[in-house]
Homo-oligomer: A and B are copies of this chain.
């Protein structure tokens, strides 16, 4: 399944050809939810081994338009993993301190420790998305960032960090419904930000920026995957399957100790 969503390195990444409502990977919603439950429990067990091993880490990058379900993915896929070996970093508007550094500085600060899973809720990719669309930095600087990101991620992977990057792909129509829901449901008012409507008006510009990002930064060491996200259950099931498979392939081991357990006596 993992390969269905891949943006092949060096290839075009036409979002128009990818259906945000695609659920063809799953027999049914029930089957997908059952699989998610199994995957989530297995991710928890695998994370325990990763933590025990203490040598490598997993970085999960979540990007997507407003309401695409980044928070929901963290809850849906990682709630069972528990907070012990998982850290979530939300990349909001940069602070003055962060702005005083290069754009990768805060991403590097938040890189997951050995033995843990780090989740980026938005990420350093904002610097080629919102920053590009709203022209918050000179175009010539932004153009250089794709290669800078690729080099940064390559360094991470060469130092024990496996990177999974998911673009949560929702349709403009589904976004309308979710924004409207935030306006209609008083419990969701706090999630609504009037600025989201301004970004919605720039939908096409954002899609173009996403395509550039996908084409320039889907690499062999850290490929992008475009996840159909109009159906929350399909989104969660797809991501949980890929995370589980990735951890299984990493196959973390309980460390062998250098001492002889029989040589110790607990008195």
Residues from chain B with a CB closer than 8 A to the CB of A80 are 79-80
Please name 6 pairs of A and B residues whose Cβ atoms are closer than 8 Å in the assembled complex, sorted by A. Answer: A52-B190, A74-B82, A81-B83, A190-B257, A200-B267, A201-B267
Known contacts A261-B183, A261-B184, A78 near B87 by CB under 8 Å: no
Residues from chain B with a CB closer than 8 A to the CB of A176 are 266-267
Residues from chain B with a CB closer than 8 A to the CB of A78 are 82-83
Q: Residues 203-218 of chain A: 1 if any B CB is under 8 Å from the residue's CB, otherwise 0?
A: 0000000000000000
Q: CB distance B254 to A189 under 8 Å?
A: yes
Q: CB distance A266 to B83 under 8 Å?
A: no
Is A197 in contact with chain B by the CB < 8 A criterion? yes
Residues from chain B with a CB closer than 8 A to the CB of A44 are 79
Q: CB distance A264 to B183 under 8 Å?
A: yes
B-binding residues in A (CB < 8 A): 44, 52, 54, 71, 74-75, 78-84, 86-88, 119, 176, 179-180, 183-184, 186-187, 189-192, 194, 197, 200-201, 254-257, 259, 261-262, 264, 266-267
Q: CB distance A187 to B83 under 8 Å?
A: no
Complex-state Cα separation, A200 to B267, whole angstroms? 8
For residue A248, give the distance in angstroms from its CB to the closest CB of chain B: 18
Residues from chain B with a CB closer than 8 A to the CB of A262 are 183
Q: CB distance B84 to A82 under 8 Å?
A: no
Which chain B residue lies CB-closest to A257? B189
Q: CB distance B74 to A179 under 8 Å?
A: no
Contact among B82, B180, B201, B259 with A79 in the assembled complex (CB-CB below 8 Å): B82
Complex-state Cα separation, A78 to B85, whole angstroms? 12
Complex-state Cα separation, A241 to B83, whole angstroms? 19
Known contacts A259-B194, A264-B194, A266-B197, A187 near B254 by CB under 8 Å: yes
Q: CB distance A257 to B82 under 8 Å?
A: no
For residue A263, give the distance in angstroms from its CB to the closest CB of chain B: 9
Contact among B83, B254, B257, B264 with A87 in the assembled complex (CB-CB below 8 Å): B83
Q: CB distance B190 to A255 under 8 Å?
A: yes
Residues from chain B with a CB closer than 8 A to the CB of A74 are 82-84
Which chain B residue lies CB-closest to A89? B87
Given contacts A81-B83, A176-B267, A194-B259, 5 further A-B contacts (CB under 8 A): A83-B87, A183-B264, A186-B254, A189-B254, A197-B266
